[in-house]
Structure formats: C-alpha cells, structure tokens
Amino acid sequence: MSLRIIKILMLFMVGLFCLIGAVFNLTSMEADLALVSLVVIGDGATGVADWQKIETPWFVTLCWAVIPLSKALAGLLCLMSVGRMWSLRRSDSSSFQWAKHAGIVGCGVMLAMLFGVFILIAETWFQQWQTPLGAGILGAAQRYIVCIGVIVFFVYLSDDELAERGN
C-alpha cells in the first residue's frame, strides 16, 4: 500500500472522528450543556474566583456550541481533502500536496478547539484538572491532540521529504 493511500486513510479517519463527535454532541446536547455548565462555573475546583465563573445560560450555550461546530467544520474540511487527495493520488507531488490543504486546515481547527476549549479554558482557566470530571475529559482531549497532531504531521510531509528520509 502506498504512503499516499495511507495518508488518505488517516485523514479520512480524522474526518470521520470529527463528524461522529459533532453528531454525538448535537444528539446529546442537554447532557453536554450540563457538563459544560459544571466546567464554566468551576464546579469542584479550588482557586476559581467568582468573576471567572460563567453562569449566564446563553453564554454557556455559546461555549458548548463551539465544540460541535468546530468538530463539524474540521470533519468536513478533512473529508473534502480526502476526496481531492483520492482524485489526485496518481498525480505529481505538488498537486497531491495541494490536495492536502483543506485537511491540514481541518486538523488545525480540531487541534485549536481541543487545545483552546479543553486545555486553555477548562484545565487552566476553570482549574478542572482538580476534578474527576476534568480528569476524564482532559485525558481524552490530550489523547486526541496527540493523535491528530501526529496524523497531520505525517499527512503534511511531501512525498519528496519522505523519500529523502527513507534513503
């Protein structure tokens, strides 16, 4: 199996992961809103000042909406790129590299959401690393960041760079 096919497959899996996650978030909106609400009020964490807490319902909903919208956008960009990559899998290196662009952006959107929402906001701002809820969601977010980061790095490498490393 060629490296191009593996890159297409890996980016397809990221796209699928993102879209499945978005659908899950949308279909479990009530439960997810309750979890986001717990996070943004600093539930169970020490050191979160009253001025840091978010309790306004519309703002909690806005905070929640970032998650499925980012996942949906990232998934669609990755799958759009998969289609382009598949159609250009037998073309020259620069054409195939161009076909990766939307998928690389999609992975970037997902990485930005995971890092921004879970690490920067939940873990750092709302100190959720101290709570059982935080331990579960932050560990998962870190796994996803690592996996998607490795995949996007692999996909980004051009055929020429991989050939040089192989020799």
Instruction: Write out pLDDT tens, residues 114-156.
Output: 999 999 999 989 899 898 888 888 999 999 999 999 999 999 9
Which range has the worst mean pLDDT, 68-72, 103-107, 112-116, 138-142?
A: 138-142
CB 107 within 8 A of CB 154: no
Query: 7: number of CA atoms within 13 Å, CB side?
Result: 26
Query: 55: number of CA atoms within 13 Å, CB side?
Result: 8
Q: What is the pLDDT of residue 1?
A: 60
Percent of the chain that is helix, strand, coil (3-state, to 5) = 85, 0, 15
Residue ranges making up the domain that contains 134: 3-44+53-166
